[in-house]
Amino acid sequence: MAVKDESLTTQAVIKAASMIPSFNPKNTPAEGGSEIYHEIIKLTKNPDPYRKIKEQHIQEALSILPELESMVQNSEDPLLMAIRIAIAGNVIDLGITEKVNVVENVKKILTQPFGIFHYDAFRSTLEKADHILYLGDNAGESVFDTILIKALKKKVIYAVREKPVINDVTRHEAVLSGIDQVAEIISSGTSAAGTILKFCNPSFLNIFKKAPMIISKGQGNYEGLSDERKPIFFLLKAKCGPIAQDIGVKQGDIILKSAL
Amino acid sequence: MAVKDESLTTQAVIKAASMIPSFNPKNTPAEGGSEIYHEIIKLTKNPDPYRKIKEQHIQEALSILPELESMVQNSEDPLLMAIRIAIAGNVIDLGITEKVNVVENVKKILTQPFGIFHYDAFRSTLEKADHILYLGDNAGESVFDTILIKALKKKVIYAVREKPVINDVTRHEAVLSGIDQVAEIISSGTSAAGTILKFCNPSFLNIFKKAPMIISKGQGNYEGLSDERKPIFFLLKAKCGPIAQDIGVKQGDIILKSAL
């Protein structure tokens, strides 16, 4: 995706393969994967291979936004419907699979039972919180995030990656998604495909430490934060076997999980 | 799949990654993949990681065999129906994807239009041939091959891999599939996941050279033989992008292609 030149793609494969033996096996995929990703960016001199696709996914998500918004308005439990929609957005993830029928997947997730459902804790934490730190995941999914942010009815700080990494949301895509209309956008300081605290900047870490409630979207953020004992709520679809196993659910399950 | 021990699986990943930089980029995936596969066998001391799954797939295929046979008998063009079924068997391929609904896929392929359809050449070559060399691919698929072998109504020599490699058919699985009832089984001498002539034994090469007609199943055999100018007919489903591009069809297309 970064370059068409076949000799450069071969070099990129060789570079990626040669990095793997030196990785610490205890590191998360988000960490190792991101190191490889940034080497490919250097090698191919393409600073943002997924840019076009990210923007296309945002356009697609925006086109179904009115329909999703009316689903929330007509729901008996608008907050829960917004949570489901925010998780449904997580299927837009080119890091995992290239071809996804978004609308079909969204509708499926809207009726799918949760593998873990800490909704009571979510609501009571939300009620007490004066603001929420919201950790964005992918571009496109970010459009769905605006729906949940509105439904939270609290001040929201939305954290994005510092630099492009795969199809993750940076400030550029957050603004295209309309996040700036509903939340304050900050950078986590990291350009890993997940929130790996040792790579985050002090300003983000300060906000993270003090946040009375944190919403963490997707697998990449989960990988970095799964061991933190903080008021974090993980919203994700367990797309791959190892993540499902770590959480203790079936692959494909949708999750609303409290870290506490 | 070869071993449960996590430290050994980590070692296997590191070993595999460390081999890639030294591969000749012009080699086929069947060649490089097989080198990695055999290193994993050595490292994990598991000589046949897919054995259980291969046998399970053969059992599943055998259970729908009578249904497939009656489809051939009731068809207006039994040879063509047998060809379609043999291609349909090619969807049983754990090297590509782990979860496949076999029956569903078979039914789809039975009505799917061909991306390339050299059926006239196939029939006229078959008519003149006194025997056919048939290059097997995966275990399970091998059960479907018995149907086409019977429909050919000629002497058939069925070539299998010398040693286990992924889910490919060896003599053991060929016999379980009933190939010994309809054809003479020989080993190609290779334990690569495809027919790579430089790894084949002299006896196979002699049969290959003289064969008036060769039926080559699946992508792995295609990778090794796509540049040969011989009376080879490739029967496969183009499962991945690079193979589809090389053949000049869409990914997912089914193919009956003459090499001449």
- Cβ of B260 under 8 Å from any chain A Cβ? no
Residue B100, pLDDT > 80, answer no
pLDDT means per 10 residues, chain A with 260 residues, are 91 94 88 92 94 89 89 94 91 53 72 94 98 96 97 98 94 98 97 93 97 96 95 94 92 95
Looking at chain B, which residue has its C-alpha nearest residue A15? B21
B94 or B46, greater pLDDT: B46
A107 or B43, greater pLDDT: B43
- Cβ of B25 under 8 Å from any chain A Cβ? yes
Residue B91, pLDDT > 80, answer no
Residue among B54, B34, B257 nearest B170 (CA): B54
pLDDT value at position B81? 93
CA–CA dist A13, B97 (Å, integer): 21
pLDDT value at position A37? 93
First to last CA, chain B: 39
Residue B223, pLDDT > 80, answer yes
pLDDT value at position B97? 44
Q: What confidence category does residue B197 fall into, taking pLDDT thresholds of 50, 70 and 90?
A: very high
Question: Which one of A10, A13, A20 has the shortest CB-CB distance to B14?
Answer: A20
Looking at chain A, which residue has its C-alpha nearest residue B17? A17
pLDDT value at position B95? 44
Cα of B14 to nearest chain A Cα, Å? 5
Q: What's the mean pLDDT in B209-223?
A: 96
Burial of A209 (0-12, 13-18, 19+ CB in 10 A): exposed
Q: What's the mean pLDDT in B225-249?
A: 94
Looking at chain B, which residue has its C-alpha nearest residue A22? B14
Cα of B18 to nearest chain A Cα, Å? 6
For residue A102, report the phi and psi dihedrals to the nearest 5 degrees: -65, -50
CB pairs under 8 A between A and B: 22
Cα of A36 to nearest chain B Cα, Å? 13
The pTM of the full predicted model, rounded to 2 decimals, is 0.77
Buried b (16+ CB within 10 A) or exposed e, B129-164: bebbbbbbbbbbbbbbbbbbbbbbeeebbbbbbbbb
Q: Quick one: tokens of B103? A: 């029956």
Contact B17 A13 (CB under 8 A): no
Q: Is A259 helix (H, G, I), strand (E, B) or coil?
A: coil
Which residues of chain A have a CB within 8 Å of the CB of B10?
25
Residue among A204, A223, A90, A82 nearest A147 (CA): A82
Q: For chain B, give the secondary structure using H, E and C.
A: CCCCCHHHHHHHHHHHHHHHHHCCCCCCHHHHHHHHHHHHHHHHCCCCCCHHHHHHHHHHHHHHHHHHHHHHHCCCCHHHHHHHHHHHHCCCCCCCCCCCCHHHHHHHHCCCCEEEECHHHHHHHHHHCCEEEEECCECCHHHHHHHHHHHHCCEEEEEEECCCCCCECEHHHHHHCCHHHCCEEEECCCCCCCCCHHHCCHHHHHHHHHCCCEEEEHHHHHHHHCCCCCCEEEEEECCCHHHHHHHCCCCCCEEEEECC
Return the number of other C-beta atoms located less than 10 Å from residue A153's C-beta. Answer: 10
CA–CA dist A225, B23 (Å, integer): 37
Q: What's the mean pLDDT in B126-146?
A: 97
Q: What angle do CA B110, B221, B96 make, to 5 degrees?
A: 65
Looking at chain A, which residue has its C-alpha nearest residue B22? A14
Q: What's the mean pLDDT in B6-34?
A: 91
Residues in contact with B171: Cβ distance below 8 Å, sequence separation at least 6, in sequence order? B160, B185, B187
Which residues of chain A have a CB within 8 Å of the CB of B18?
17-18, 20-21
Burial of B6 (0-12, 13-18, 19+ CB in 10 A): exposed
First to last CA, chain A: 39
Residues facing residue A256 across a β-bridge: A117, A235
Q: Give Cα separations from A156 to A43, A132, A140, A149, A221 (angstroms).
A: 37, 5, 19, 7, 17
- Cβ of A202 under 8 Å from any chain B Cβ? no
- Cβ of B17 under 8 Å from any chain A Cβ? yes
Cα of A146 to nearest chain B Cα, Å? 35
Q: What's the mean pLDDT in B210-232?
A: 96
Cα of A257 to nearest chain B Cα, Å? 27
Q: What's the mean pLDDT in B122-149?
A: 97
pLDDT value at position A97? 44
CA–CA dist A110, A89 (Å, integer): 11
- What single-letter DSSP state applies at residue A168? B
Q: Please answer whether residues B141 and B217 qualify as being in contact, where contact means their C-beta atoms are separated by less than 8 angstroms.
A: yes
Find which of A18, A39, A240 to mutate to test the B interface (most B CBs within 10 Å of its CB).
Answer: A18
pLDDT value at position B89? 87
Contact B18 A14 (CB under 8 A): no
Q: Quick one: tokens of B107? A: 């039914």
pLDDT value at position A95? 45
Looking at chain B, which residue has its C-alpha nearest residue A9? B25
CATH homologous superfamily, domain A51-258: Uncharacterised protein PF01937, DUF89, domain 3 (3.40.50.10880)
pLDDT value at position A27? 87
- Cβ of B240 under 8 Å from any chain A Cβ? no
Which residues of chain A have a CB within 8 Å of the CB of B25?
10
- Cβ of A260 under 8 Å from any chain B Cβ? no
